Amino acid sequence: MKTLGLLGGMSWESTSIYYQRLNRLTRDALGGQHSAPLLLWSVDFAPMSDKLSVGDWAGITAVLVEAARRLEAAGAESLLICSNTMHQVADEIQEALSIPLIHVADATAAALSAAGLNRPLLLATRFTMERAFYRNRLAAAGLEVLIPREVERERLHAIIFDELVQGRFESESRADVVGIAEAMINDHGADSIILGCTEFGLLVEAGDFTVPVFDTAELHVDAGMKFALSHV
């Protein structure tokens, strides 16, 4: 089984999902006492969040490229960035490596296409919803990506940074996320939902919505596991 490198801590709440799911899938695939060979680099999220708030993408790139290189040097055979937003600098990280980077948007697009859906609503941080790096990747796969109105984007962003990354999961916020999604389904014809923040799966679940839900953390892990189990 191949060794995966996890670039995490953004936040550690969702990085723990990656660790747990990778090990569960390994046990399911190989049986018995098997667990996943993993290398994890977990950054301190507070300085990264500060850099995000002022748009210091060069500083973010420097931190993550260095961490990714260390994971490769330690023996990682592929890399997963355990954060949708930090895929803003995925190309720069890939250019610094000789191992493949498994992109969360590619895994998500593949799942939507396989389900025959093409008009997803993207729920995520403002960076992921508004910047081209993510939506363009989905659009290249033939998806017509919808995002909520600006005031709703601000609310989703606040839920993520003020609550979820700090381990707070409020019923009011859960209701707001569901309400925002259902309005877009009813008023704009969204045929599916992308939980485009790796923490959203800790707050809401598929049964909360009236259309299919695609949890990017789970899909990303599944893509990583497919790579790890290749040639087993």
Domain with CATH 3.40.50.1860 in the chain: 4-103+219-229, 105-215
pLDDT band at 232; cut points 50, 70, 90: low
Which percentage of the chain shows pLDDT scores above 70? 100
Cα–Cα distance, 71 to 79 (Å, whole number) = 8
pLDDT tens, position by position, 78-99: 999 999 999 999 999 999 999 9
Within 10 angstroms of residue 229's Cβ, the number of other Cβ atoms is 15
Per-residue pLDDT for 58 more than 70? yes
Domain 105-215 is found in CATH 3.40.50.1860: yes
**What's the predicted TM-score (pTM) here?**
0.96
Domain 4-103+219-229 is found in CATH 3.40.50.1860: yes
pLDDT tens, position by position, 147-203: 999 999 999 999 999 999 999 999 999 999 999 999 999 999 999 999 999 999 999
**Is 89 buried (19+), middle (13-18) or exposed (0-12) by CB count in 10 A?**
buried
Residue-level pLDDT at 118: 96
Omega within 30 of 0 (cis) for the link into 11: yes
pLDDT tens, position by position, 205-231: 999 999 999 999 999 999 999 999 997
Please, are residues 101 and 78 in contact by the beta-carbon 8 Å criterion? Answer: yes
Please, are residues 15 and 8 in contact by the beta-carbon 8 Å criterion? Answer: yes
